[in-house]
Amino acid sequence: MEARSVRILRRAALAAAALVCGAVPLHAALDLSAAITRQQTILLDELARGTGQPSNIKLRRPLVDSQRNRVYFAGTVSPYLGVIDANTDTIVDSVDLDMHGYLSKQMALDEGTGLIYMTTLEDTRLYKVDPVNKTVSAPVSVPGGGAVSVDSVNHLIYVAVTDGVREYNSNLQLIRTLAASVRDVKVDPSGTYLYTTPMVQPSSVTVYNRSTFAKIASVNMPGGRVAMTLSVDSDNRIYAACLPPYLAIISTQSSSTDYAIRSMVAISTYVGNTVTYGNNLYMMTGYPPKAGYMPTSDGAYGVIEVHNKITGVFVSSVQAGLQGDGLAIHPSLGKMYVGNTGDSYVDVFDLATNARTKRIDTATSVEDIVVRPGDGALVVRNRLGGGNSLLLVQNPGGSAAVSNAPSPGNWPTKTILDAGTTTVYTLSHYESKVSAFDLDTLQVKAAVSLGVAKLRTDGLSTMAFNPAARTAYATLPELGQVVAANVDTGQASAAVSVPGFDLADAESPGLLQLAVNSALGRVYLLNTQAPVKLFTYDSSLTLLRSTDVSSNFPTFDGGNPLDLFFSDEAAGKLYVGPLIFNVTSGGEQYAGKLSIADGQGFPHKVVAVYPEGDRLYAVDFSSTTSPIAHDSHERLLEFSRSSPAAAFRQFELSPLDVVKSAFGFDFARGLAYVGYFESGNIDVLKIGNVVSAVDVSSPSVPAGLTASAVGSAQINLAWSVSTDDVGVAGYKVYRAGVQVASATTNSYTDSGLSAGTTYTYAVAAYDAAGNTSANSASASTATAAAPPAVSPSPFLAVSTAGLTATWLANGNSAGTTYYVQLSSAPDFSTILQSTRTLTLNASFFGLSPNTSYYVQAAALSLQTSTWTAFVLLGSTATPAARPSGSALLALSSTTAGFDWQPGGNPEPGTQYETWLDADPAFGAPAKALVSTSAYEAQGLSAATTYYFKVRAWGRNGAYSLFDAALSTVTPPPPPGWPGTPAGTALGISSVSWNWTPAAFAATYGVYQAASPATLIASVPAPAFAQTGLSTNTAYGIVVAGINATASGPLSASATAYTLAAAPSGTAISNIQAASATITWSLNTNPSATTAEVQRSSDNASFAPVFTGAATTFADTGLLACTTYYVRVRNRNGDGVATDFDATVQFKTLASTPMAPGGLAAVSVAGNKIALSWTESPTEGITAYRLYSDGGTGVVDYGAPLAVLSSTKTAFTTGVLASSASYRFALRAKHRCGVEESGGVFASAASSARSPPSARP
């Protein structure tokens, strides 16, 4: 099963190609020895819908010529340039570009000359097209070229090529090359600058001087983005469309060279081209749309984003169609034109409402061709703009003429001629019916239902017809069926399922194909799903057999083409693509394969046989690279019908279509017709020379000859079509009995005649055998007088209030009366002045300055007393008048507004050029072009003298004189931001403030921070002393600069405290052994003032012992009987300390120590007692005194037994009386000299050996 991507590709490339070859009676033998040649190409679209309807499939970006009110468009696969009248938005003309490569979307217009320059993608050439004279120059090679831009001022062309940018003149002569890597190139409208983007990274936009190629600046794209395409507006603003999607708006600001990205626009999708109009930028984007877009019903392609052209801010969006591919704007008409590549439309939008006002259809395609027996006319099934119609092309080998026929149904997929009759059948896949048309009248005869519901519009069905059984057979792939219907009874007769058909793969075109052998009563069906099988049915669709042909069936690049079958009943052969089968009633036998002589594979399918010449014709769509490559063969191949080993004649078909649509053969006239699905044209090929004609009958006499004069030199003739048994070849035109021309259609234009003269005509018809009818009845008419001719210099003595127009007589005699009209409207809807004159000039006075005027003239024909048509002699503009009364309107430090009197110039409609300079001599003025009589200059320097003058720009391309210059001085700008004030306390009642100066400030205002509207003081400098304040109090201020222009912005607020006063009256009270109370007074400080108390024991080294908002402090943890020194100071809110109050001295009281703890006495050997204890917890113990009772039972405190240091906790007595009992007491003594009076006690008896210890 094919991959879906291949199926889609095949559908796009091989859509609905069809072969219909009717059997016609031969009137001549053919000489097939000469080469096959292209005789002509029928521009079917022009003939089908009137002059000026070119075919354009895959339409590309249009071009607008606003000076000539024309819109041009071209397609990628059709070499024709379409011309739209912008006034009526109708197609009025087309130009055959005669290009044989795919067109790129790169076209550029020289607005001065109206010439178009375009590059082609396939052969990379540059062409010059004159759309007025319909000429195309010989191209020049531009290797790798694509992007093209035109300098309309100097008429130079710039093309991006492999090695840089090439500069050509209007004759396509190479002048010079700018060596650089270039992807896109643009010239600014003034012809001053050249802009390029590179093919390599890092991507940038580079600006060059166009005349010298000197590099001016380069602007890099941020974030690794790649600048793809460029657009430039009249303000020298550059728009770079990037990938990933992003639009950079680049311009200068303070100088002519400081190019930089000024705005950035993030786009959710691909950006095509951009165009500015008014204040907006119109940008063609792809898909998907983002939030803010209007809803779309036909897909997400072709959304036009509208942004502010300076800031890039999103304004709105416009839905441009399913596959919009570029836009162009006509500024004076307020219209936008959008090309649609998918459906080949040009959409017209009104820029005032962004609403689409018209859709112009530009496409035609050829899907089937039937050669009508007898006259060789072609019946063409044509799809036009998604619809369908039948066209009758008469005299296709000569001057073809086309008429329309009814629609053959919705989405028809096949057209077949009922051989030997004048009936053609069409299959409508979607409507599931077969319709019959009469070839003579092209009217519907009948419609036969296939007996199933409506099917999809994919166009996958095919049809075969058995004239003997009067049965049409059709495939329905989405149902996996073959159906039969009797075309006479209008009834479906059978429907069978194809064995083994995979419905999951039913979308692929070419899966089920049909052929019929009427003589054998066989219906052949090919299922190209693997394995490829050939099914054989009888005429009632009874399956007779199936044959596996996969081993011989070729693999086609890009998928299977439609209509692979061709049944050669006379030779008993069936062609399946290039495969050959011999067929009989008993079966089908594989007989080989057609092959191409150059070894490049095999043809795709057989399209016709010529039994009398033993010829067989096949087509080759194969490519050496891919199914859509431009090197595909696309050839018509001729084989021997009896021994088709290899092709011996071939013809290269047009490379404009990947797959050809339809083929028709008229062997009676030696012609083959190739209809192209994409371009909608038909190539007429000469495949042989007629060598033995047997035609002896003359055509019928033309009837209804009419002669109509058109102007003074032309008469148009028309008559009814003659008939002939073989075919009318043409008509002979006689004037005054003398043949003057031959015509291939039933009309002729006789030109170059004399004015005011009567002419008589007759016509006769002739056929290819030379048989000529009798002359028709004559017709006579007279030419009109000649209109005046335009003079090379139509205007003389043009002033601000008058002009003189001149013209040429154009053959009119002296004394001819001319009627001359003057108008300011191009269409002369309002006539301002008119006059009659016998001379070749006329003067008009009382005109307005700087106004465009149009003059037309007509001549009076004396023979008929009628005026000729008016001839536009031309247009001119009166010079602009000098403006007056220049005055200053408004002034600021950066802007100045001026106005002036127009001086009679029209407003709106006049542009003025202003000059502004700081130099009274205007050495380097800043210039601006404005469209009203007022101008505001911006970006000025403050306190600067400027000089201003103005002049008018005329429509005739010249400036008026300047009005008198004036000068002004800009005031300074408002002050800037001052710095945040910094406050420093000067004392207990004042603060000194200072701050960083504000730019442009003359003085400063000082305000309360809590109430910025309250002014404290005005000072001349950035400093201020604030006095009369409270002690240790916070004060806040803000400041602002002030000058003659305004008061500037307020600074940030700042706060500072006044100093605190030193405390007073420090005193000591409640002195204890370990504590004392310290007090002091606030001394005018607020109650929240922070005090700091410091203490020292030597009156030299002080340490803080208290910090807090209080006036008393209880000092604890002191040492007893110790002298201390205390001092107090205050701190303000900013932490700044005062002086200390006077130092105060005091001494703590003495302390009685606590007794030591746990005295224990233990007898030790030798009549001694060991004592131990724990230290007294009192600080300052200097010694322990041990007392004893001496064994008396009463402790003697008069004299200690021992005095021990404060660090001792044990003592052993000397030898005591044996076995005596002793009692001990231990007391602690403080450093203050106090011995505690209690003590601790313990007893023990002495012993020669250690007894148990005694308890106290």
**Domain with 1038 in it: what CATH number?**
2.60.40.10
Higher pLDDT among residues 15 and 796, named by residue: 796
Instruction: Based on the fold, state whether residues 939 and 1042 are members of the same structural domain.
Output: no
* pLDDT 10s digits, 70-121: 988 776 655 667 788 888 888 777 776 656 445 555 889 999 999 999 887 6
Instruction: Based on the fold, state whether residues 392 and 512 are members of the same structural domain.
Output: yes
Region at 521 (left for phi over 0; alpha for psi -120 to 50; beta for the rest): left
Residue 87 counted as domain residue:
no
Residue 169 counted as domain residue:
no
Residue 70 counted as domain residue:
no
**Contact indicator for 195, 185 with CB cutoff of 8 Å:** yes
**Tokens read off for 319:** 């839905």
Q: How far is CA 158 from the centre of its chain?
A: 23
Alpha helices, DSSP H only, in 14-106?
44-49
User: In which residue are the tokens 């990037």 written?
Assistant: 242
The Cα–Cα gap between 101 and 76 comes to: 9
Higher pLDDT among residues 176 and 68, named by residue: 176
* pLDDT 10s digits, 1121-1179: 999 999 999 999 999 999 999 999 999 998 889 889 888 999 998 889 999 999 988 88
Instruction: Based on the fold, state whether residues 871 and 895 are members of the same structural domain.
Output: no
Instruction: Based on the fold, state whether residues 1082 and 1176 are members of the same structural domain.
Output: no
* pLDDT 10s digits, 123-141: 688 889 998 888 888 889 8
Residue 698 counted as domain residue:
no
Q: Is 621 helix (H, G, I), strand (E, B) or coil?
A: coil
**Tokens read off for 544:** 């007779």
Residue 915 counted as domain residue:
yes
Range with lowest mean pLDDT among 594-603, 634-643, 1017-1026? 594-603
Instruction: Supply the pLDDT for residue 1152.
Output: 86
**Average pLDDT score over the chain:** 82
Instruction: Based on the fold, state whether residues 748 and 830 are members of the same structural domain.
Output: no
Q: Tell me the mean pLDDT in the region 402-420.
A: 62
Dihedral sign, CA of 771, 775, 781, 785? Answer: positive
Instruction: Based on the fold, state whether residues 1093 and 1044 are members of the same structural domain.
Output: no
CA distances from 697 to 667, 704, 734, 770, 1244 (A): 20, 22, 22, 9, 176
Concatenating the DSSP letter of every residue in 279-304 gives TEEEEEE-S---TTPPP-SS-SS-EE
Instruction: Supply the pLDDT for residue 242.
Output: 87
Instruction: Supply the pLDDT for residue 296.
Output: 32
Instruction: Supply the pLDDT for residue 386.
Output: 42
Instruction: Supply the pLDDT for residue 1064.
Output: 94
The Cα–Cα gap between 218 and 202 comes to: 11
Instruction: Supply the pLDDT for residue 20.
Output: 34
- Ranked by mean pLDDT, the top range of 295-299, 311-315, 461-465 is 311-315
Instruction: Based on the fold, state whether residues 1235 and 1126 are members of the same structural domain.
Output: no
Count of Cβ atoms closer than 10 Å to residue 170 Cβ: 17
Residue range of the domain that includes 348: 274-363
Instruction: Based on the fold, state whether residues 380 and 525 are members of the same structural domain.
Output: yes
Residue 12 counted as domain residue:
yes
**Tokens read off for 692:** 């033995």
Residue 222 counted as domain residue:
no
Q: Which of 1147, 1175, 1200 finishes a domain?
A: 1147
The Cα–Cα gap between 724 and 699 comes to: 5
- Size (the chain), residues: 1256
Residues in CB range of 850: below 8 A, 6 or more apart: 800, 877, 878, 879, 880, 881, 905, 906, 909, 910, 952, 954, 955
Instruction: Supply the pLDDT for residue 342.
Output: 59
Count of Cβ atoms closer than 10 Å to residue 1160 Cβ: 18
The Cα–Cα gap between 194 and 147 comes to: 13
Instruction: Based on the fold, state whether residues 421 and 494 are members of the same structural domain.
Output: yes
Q: Tell me the mean pLDDT in the region 846-855.
A: 94
The Cα–Cα gap between 25 and 767 comes to: 17
Instruction: Based on the fold, state whether residues 340 and 428 are members of the same structural domain.
Output: no
Residue 903 counted as domain residue:
yes
Q: Pseudo-torsion of CA 156, 160, 161, 166, nearest 10°?
A: 20
Structurally, the chain folds into a number of domains equal to 8
Determine if the peptide bond prior to 244 is cis (ω within 30°). yes
The Cα–Cα gap between 663 and 672 comes to: 7
* pLDDT 10s digits, 927-977: 999 999 999 999 998 889 999 999 999 998 899 999 999 999 988 888 999
Q: Which of 663, 690, 717 finishes a domain?
A: 690
The Cα–Cα gap between 683 and 389 comes to: 20
Instruction: Based on the fold, state whether residues 371 and 512 are members of the same structural domain.
Output: yes
**Contact indicator for 776, 703 with CB cutoff of 8 Å:** yes
**Tokens read off for 1175:** 């230290």
Q: Which of 336, 363, 390 finishes a domain?
A: 363
pLDDT band at 52 (very low <50, low <70, confident <90, very high): very low
Residue type at 497 in one-letter notation: S
User: Above 90 in pLDDT, residue 1054?
Assistant: yes
Instruction: Based on the fold, state whether residues 754 and 797 are members of the same structural domain.
Output: no
**Tokens read off for 38:** 């292209």
